[in-house]
Each structure stands twice: as structure tokens, then as C-alpha cells.
């Protein structure tokens, strides 16, 4: 299934049905009086969050959504049927914005949350409503009200306990596939991952959700590389797992490139709890690795873990650390 994290759609609530201007007509009843019923109310448009969804792809090709109209009233004082509500399912983490794509309407953060965004129009009144002591045979009726209609934006921000960040080709997708049952695309070239991938890992009967965020590069907050379209997904993560390729020459520079991008996009991101892992330790000799790590610690004063996503003992070590920090 393709990943889509933003969509603009048009929603229209149902119109109310018209009231009826009917009069009772029966044998031996000369003046039956009015018996026109009210119109039914139009259906409303409701959004509901569903944790089994992880994309807005359903709203890419179908962009117009309309609830049912209410039926008109009829004789014998019968009220018209109400229009059926239209329930639109969205992933947990979806934010609903007005047409300006800036004014937040609602934020879906839990499963099965519902929000009525467009109300259906009320049904019109039948002529029986206008009967009075001075007007015994009213012909007046009213039409139903128009249902609300407008354009809205849907924006999806992935919700995960831990977001895996780092430069392209640092091994983020390999780590996710090693820790979970997720099957992200893995290759030896940069920008293999084009969309966030989610997975769940378990350790000691506890579980956490991980998100593999597409690789960031210098200038990402301005649109460079894959741009800033995926930086917003990091906002929902409780903890950031910063993965660094230990085979690269400038470990300190690469670390601060990502940190500066987080800071430039949103200062809150740079204040999130961070776990640093150096990956691909199986590709270098121990002496060279230690020299690099000593230099990194001296310049950054940061704690870190040295691992390889291809070693099973390291995978168990990673799980233990992640579960401990996330709970």
C-alpha cells in the first residue's frame, strides 16, 4: 500500500428534506385539515480514527465526499427519513485542518475517536406545524436547510514511541527490519526509504512502536533532499534513536548535521530524549572503532552504544535499551 500523509478533500453534509403541504382527504371527512409531515434531517460528515490504517491513500483519487440528503415529508403527518451519516476513516495521528491548511480543527490521537465536522441540514416543516385557531387550513411549508460544505486538509503525523533518524544509508531500515516484522525496502544507496515505516518490537513482554524516518540531509528543513515533508513525523515520537554509520569519516559533523536540522525545523525536536547508536561496527577493526568513538565522546560529551544490526546479540541489546528508555 502506498503511503500518503497529506490530502485535500471536499466534504458536503446532506440537505434537509422539504416539509409537505398536504391535506387530509378521506370519505365522509369534508374538512380534514392539514396533515403534511416534516422533512428529514440531512446526514452529517463524521471522521473516525482507526489504528489499523497508516496512510491517507484512500483520499488521493476520491476527493469529494457527500452525506445523504433527508427525504421530504409526506401526507398523513409522516416525517421524511433522515439522511445517513457519512463516516470517513482516518489513521490515528491525523490532523484535520481548514482550507488554509493552517487552522487546526481536530487532532486524532487515539483509536476510535469521532469528530463531527459538517452538520446535516435540518428538515423543513410541514403545513400541520402552521395550523392555528385563526388559520385552520395553512398551505405554508418550509424547505430543508442546506448542509454544511467546505474543503478540508488531512495531515498525517506518524505516532510512535521511538523515531529512528539519521543520514541516508545509515542503516535505519535494516535496524527496523531486524527489530520488528516490518519489511521496509533495503538497499546500499541513499534515499532507499521514501516513506516512514512502522514496526512493533517486543522484549520481556513489553512492546514499543518504532518509526523509520526517511534520511535527512543538511538543509532538509528548507526542502533539500526529501525536504521537510517527513520532519513533522518526528514530532509525534517520544524518543529519537539517532543512528550513525561508524564507517563514515566525520562522525561528529554528521551527528551535528542532523541535530541542527531538528533545531531549525522545531526547537522542541532538539529537546526530545535521544539515544545514539553507532551502526556497522562489524565492518571495522576494533582499534579503529575505539579511536573514532573516543574522538566523538571528547567532542560531543554524549553517551552512545556501538552495535551492528546484523549481530543477534546486538539486536537483543538494542531491544533492552529501547524498552528501558520508552517505559
Compute the average pLDDT of residues 172-182: 81
- How many angstroms separate the CA atoms of 148 and 224, rounded? 40
Q: What percent of the chain has pLDDT over 70?
A: 89
Write down the domain spans for the chain: 1-156, 162-326
280: left (phi over 0), alpha (psi -120 to 50) or beta: left
The x, y and z cell numbers of residue 206, run together, are 513489553
Q: What pLDDT score does 291 carry?
A: 92
Q: Give me the helices (H) in 230-285, please.
A: 231-234, 251-265, 267-270
Compute the average pLDDT of residues 205-220: 73
- How many angstroms separate the CA atoms of 2 and 36, rounded? 52
Fold entry, domain 1-156: Spo0b-associated Gtp-binding Protein; Chain: A, (2.70.210)
The bridge status of strand 104-107 relative to strand 94-97 is antiparallel
User: Would 1-156 and 162-326 be classified into the same CATH topology?
Assistant: no
As separate numbers, helices (DSSP H) first and strands (DSSP E) second, the chain gives 7, 14
Q: Does the structure show a pLDDT above 90 at 299?
A: yes
Global confidence as pTM: 0.74
Q: Does the structure show a pLDDT above 70 at 1?
A: no
Q: Is 162-326 a CATH 3.40.50.300 domain?
A: yes
Q: What pLDDT score does 225 carry?
A: 44
pLDDT tens per residue across span 118-150: 999 999 999 989 988 888 888 899 999 999 999
The bridge status of strand 149-156 relative to strand 6-12 is antiparallel
Amino acid at each position: 500500500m502506498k503511503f500518503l500523509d497529506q490530502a485535500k478533500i471536499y466534504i458536503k453534509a446532506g440537505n434537509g428534506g422539504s416539509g409537505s403541504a398536504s391535506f387530509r382527504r378521506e370519505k365522509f371527512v369534508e374538512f380534514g385539515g392539514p396533515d403534511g409531515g416534516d422533512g428529514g434531517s440531512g446526514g452529517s460528515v463524521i471522521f473516525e480514527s482507526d489504528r489499523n490504517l497508516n496512510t491517507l491513500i484512500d483520499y488521493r483519487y476520491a476527493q469529494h465526499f457527500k452525506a445523504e440528503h433527508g427525504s421530504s415529508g409526506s401526507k398523513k403527518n409522516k416525517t421524511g427519513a433522515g439522511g445517513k451519516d457519512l463516516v470517513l476513516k482516518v489513521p490515528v495521528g491525523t490532523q484535520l485542518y481548514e482550507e488554509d491548511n493552517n487552522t487546526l480543527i481536530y487532532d486524532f490521537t487515539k483509536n476510535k475517536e469521532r469528530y463531527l465536522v459538517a452538520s446535516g441540514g435540518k428538515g423543513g416543516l410541514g403545513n400541520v406545524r402552521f395550523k392555528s385557531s385563526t388559520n385552520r387550513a395553512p398551505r405554508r411549508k418550509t424547505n430543508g436547510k442546506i448542509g454544511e460544505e467546505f474543503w478540508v486538509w488531512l495531515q498525517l503525523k506518524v505516532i510512535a514511541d521511538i523515531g529512528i533518524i539519521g543520514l541516508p544509508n545509515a542503516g535505519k531500515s535494516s535496524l527496523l527490519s531486524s527489530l520488528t516484522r516490518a519489511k521496509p525496502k533495503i538497499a546500499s544507496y541513499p534515499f532507499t526509504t521514501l516513506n516512514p515505516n512502522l514496526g512493533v518490537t517486543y522484549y520481556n513482554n513489553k512492546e514499543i512502536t518504532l518509526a523509520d524516518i526517511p534520511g535527512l540531509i543538511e538543509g532538509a528543513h528548507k526542502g533539500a533532499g526529501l525536504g521537510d515533508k517527513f520532519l513533522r513525523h518526528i514530532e509525534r515520537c517520544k524518543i529519537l534513536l539517532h543512528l550513525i554509520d561508524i564507517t563514515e569519516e566525520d562522525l561528529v559533523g554528521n551527528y551535528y548535521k542532523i541535530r541542527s536540522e531538528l533545531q531549525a525545523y522545531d526547537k522542541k525536536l532538539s529537546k526530545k530524549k535521544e539515544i545514539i547508536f553507532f551502526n556497522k561496527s562489524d565492518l571495522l577493526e576494533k582499534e579503529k572503532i575505539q579511536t573514532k568513538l573516543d574522538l566523538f565522546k571528547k567532542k560531543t560529551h554524549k553517551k552512545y552504544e556501538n552495535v551492528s544490526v546484523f549481530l543477534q546479540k546486538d539486536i537483543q541489546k538494542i531491544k533492552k535499551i529501547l524498552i528501558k528508555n520508552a517505559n
